[in-house]
Amino acid sequence: MSRLMLGRTLERICKAVLLLCLVHFLIMMILYFDVYSQRFDIFSRFNNGRGANSSRGPHHNYYNFSSGRPNTTFASYLATADHLLPSTKPEANHTPPTPKPLPPCPEVPPGLVGRLLIEFSSQITLERVQRENPNVTEGGKYTPPDCRPKQKVAIIIPFRHRDNHLKYWLHYLHPVLRRQKISYGIFIINQLGEDTFNRAKLLNVGYTEALKDAEYDCFIFSDVDLIPMDDRNLYHCYDQPRHFAIAMDKFGFRLPYAGYFGGVSGLSKKQFLKINGFPNEYWGWGGEDDDIYNRITLNGMKVSRPDVRIGRYRMIKHERDKHNEPNPQRFSKIQNTKNTMRKDGISSLMYRVVSVKKYPLYTNISVEIGKPPPRPLKG
């Protein structure tokens, strides 16, 4: 008896399962034919739309999907295919969006690394420096792409027969200046001929020629053999004239004396004009930086300097240049700055530009600046 009841129970379960399978099959068939009919309706309307619009000409494609019952399958299909269909809205004249103004560059750029390892034993080529600085444009110019600098800086280097030093200077300074978010241009002021060298006069020439190139408002004057050892020594202008190279290795990383203003310095355009630029009459080595210091203090300004741990520099060792011997008149001239600074300076500058050549990493300006006056005979 128990076996008979168990068999009937299993039979009923099998029939129920079979019935459920049949219902499931019917539902699937209904859904299948429903979707198939909708897709067929879409493509037929798509083809009808193309045929109806062929008479309008080749440049106007309009498709009519307004008829037919709305359903979620059809809506989702249009949503996924919307980018494939031409817009039914007439095109409007869209003006390009105005680019957002760049934010000001930070006072202390976040990409600075601090103390730098400076060495001069590796061979440097200009091609290598150019590859390492692809964002520097013709003439040795660079502007940060992600912020707006508050100053435009011209870096001016007095120059003659120092090609190897220049390679090292460009190799180290371009990356430093880019990390400092400086908008800058580099100007090499090359004194032609073999007459006595005149550093300060070349710096006056650099100031004048740089302003012909762009509206610079800050001027950094640097010797080509001095490399900063810390990129936190920011190459821009300050409220007071700036002396950057305060701790050179040749002086034991100390300031040699309180009035020293040599090596690397910076003045704004306003500060430079206030002191009538630099003296033109210091022919040979020495004295002109002390004269500049006197001009600054005599005009009521003070020299600002970085921390001694940041203002460290390495000098490329070299023999003294030919025709740049010490100026025997420098001490008497320094004592007479107060009387000479109004008539000797940017206001009395005379020179002749021979050539201006813009290279990938710098602008070279070759000039003739004349000769020193004959020295008075002794006795």
Asked, for residue 196, whether it belongs to a domain, the answer is: yes
Return the pLDDT at 53. Answer: 44
Closest to 283 (Cα-Cα) out of 318, 319, 333, 320: 333
Q: One of 217, 249, 285, 301 is an active-site residue; which one?
A: 285
Asked, for residue 236, whether it belongs to a domain, the answer is: yes
Q: Is 285 designated active site? A: yes
**130 and 174 Cβ atoms separated by less than 8 Å:** no
Q: Is 225 designated active site? A: yes
Return the pLDDT at 1. Answer: 54
> Which residues lie closer than 8 Å to 132 by C-beta, 6 or more apart?
171, 174, 175
Q: Taking CA 163 as the corner, what is the angle to CA 160 and CA 166, rounded to the nearest 5 degrees?
A: 100
Q: Is 341 designated active site? A: no
Read off the pTM. Answer: 0.73
Residue 181: C-alpha distances to residues 170, 234, 363 (Å): 16, 9, 20
Asked, for residue 273, whether it belongs to a domain, the answer is: yes
Q: Which two tokens stand for residue 318?
A: 């070299």
**213 and 159 Cβ atoms separated by less than 8 Å:** no
Q: One of 148, 318, 342, 352 is an active-site residue; which one?
A: 318
Asked, for residue 321, whether it belongs to a domain, the answer is: yes
Return the pLDDT at 92. Answer: 54
Asked, for residue 30, whether it belongs to a domain, the answer is: no
Q: One of 209, 289, 290, 291 is an active-site residue; which one?
A: 289
> Which residues lie closer than 8 Å to 183 by C-beta, 6 or more apart?
142, 143, 144, 149, 151, 152, 153
Q: Is 320 designated active site? A: yes
Asked, for residue 31, whether it belongs to a domain, the answer is: no
Partnered with residue 4 across adjacent β-strands are none
Asked, for residue 58, whether it belongs to a domain, the answer is: no
Q: One of 315, 330, 341, 344 is an active-site residue; which one?
A: 315
State the CATH number of the domain containing residue 173. 3.90.550.10
Q: Is 230 designated active site? A: no
**pLDDT by residue, tens only, the chain of 379 residues:** 566 666 677 777 878 777 877 777 777 777 666 544 554 444 444 444 444 444 344 443 333 433 444 444 434 433 444 444 444 454 556 677 788 899 999 999 999 999 999 999 999 999 999 999 999 999 999 999 999 999 999 999 999 999 999 999 999 999 999 999 999 999 999 999 999 999 999 999 999 999 999 999 999 999 999 999 999 999 999 999 999 999 999 999 999 999 999 999 999 999 999 999 999 999 997 889 999 999 999 999 999 999 999 999 999 986 666 666 767 778 788 999 999 999 999 999 999 999 999 999 999 999 999 998 887 655 4
Q: Which residues form the domain of 308?
A: 135-368
Return the pLDDT at 236. Answer: 97
Asked, for residue 96, whether it belongs to a domain, the answer is: no
Q: One of 225, 231, 281, 344 is an active-site residue; which one?
A: 225
Q: Is 223 designated active site? A: yes
Q: Is 318 designated active site? A: yes
How many domains does the chain divide into? 1
